[in-house]
Amino acid sequence: MENLDAGIIYNKEVGPGYFLLGLDWRPLAFKPGQFVMLRVSDGLDPLLRRPFGIYRVMSGGNGVELLYQVVGKGTRILSLKRPGERLGVLGPLGNGFTMPPKGARVVMVAGGMGIVPLYPFAHEVRGAVLLYGTRDAAQASVAGDFKELGCPVRHATEDGSLGVKGYVTELLKEELTRDAVVYACGPAPMLKAVAAMAAGSGTQCYVSLERSMACGIGVCLGCAVKGGAHADAENKLYKMVCSDGPVFESKEIDWEAF
């Protein structure tokens, strides 16, 4: 893990309220699914760093790219940063994805910005299918990066402007075979539904969780989630999303309490 100031190479709007941030930081190594904590302000407001997944290594290898959506104060401040400004970066953090067993049919399920950690994963696991749920077609444009990797992409949009009209779980029904392994990231209701469907069909499922985070390193206990009946070998009742996760096997989580 590094704690440094990185320079902004670019910070450009690539979709409605979506920004691609290029930083001149080259982590020695990172695992798909790991994230960074960014300090978006030198002042006290907002005081806390914000978590963002690592999207990809910049072409040419001169840095990394993060992809984010403006949702509140911190991301609004971030969106106003210009090339040459510097940001505090802490990372890479978290555990990242467990790679699928050989021969598994890999199904990725993303909702909105949940697509971010799945990109470096898809880069390593070529040929995985992506089921992508968004509000509308404009929000879904990021999927082009996955098509370039050779991933078959199926869309679900809430307004029906692209693919199936409705939630991404409609698409998942047809993909849940016994040889499948599911990797999901997105809003809590989506993850709950995906975990329930995977449990119902006996399909192995990994979820990358999002929680508000203060420290990002397992110290403040602010990102705790309750463990499920099939807790891991350590059998912890509560797990820290930042340091035990953000990726968990879905059966490790108590979804009633999530």
Ligand X SMILES: Cc1cc2nc3c(=O)[nH]c(=O)nc-3n(C[C@H](O)[C@H](O)[C@H](O)COP(=O)(O)OP(=O)(O)OC[C@H]3O[C@@H](n4cnc5c(N)ncnc54)[C@H](O)[C@@H]3O)c2cc1C
Residue 38 interacts with ligand FES (CB under 6 A): yes or no: no
Question: Of ligand FES, ligand X, none, which one sits near residue 220, judging by CB under 5 to 8 A according to partner kind?
Answer: ligand FES
Scan residues 207-246 and list those touching ligand FES (CB under 6 A): 213-216, 218-223, 240, 242
Q: Is residue 182 a contact partner of residue 107, using CB atoms and an 8 Å limit?
A: yes
Q: Judging by beta carbons within 10 Å of its beta carbon (0-12, 13-18, 19+), is residue 47 exposed, middle or buried?
A: exposed
Instruction: Output the residue with the shortest Cβ distance to ligand X.
Output: 72
Contact of residue 161 among ligand FES, ligand X, none (CB under 5-8 Å per partner type): none
Please give the sequence-ordered ranges of beta strands (E in DSSP) within 40-146, or none if there are none.
Answer: 50-53, 56-57, 64-69, 86-93, 105-111, 129-134
Q: If binding is defined by CB under 6 A, does position 94 make contact with ligand FES? A: no
Asked if residues 4 and 78 have their Cβ atoms less than 8 Å apart, the reply is no
Binding residues for ligand X, rule: CB under 6 A, are 35, 46, 50-53, 67-69, 71-75, 113, 116, 210-213, 246
Burial class (CB in 10 A: 0-12, 13-18, 19+), 13: exposed
198 binds ligand FES (CB under 6 A): no
Q: Which residues bind ligand FES (CB under 6 A)?
A: 213-216, 218-223, 240, 242
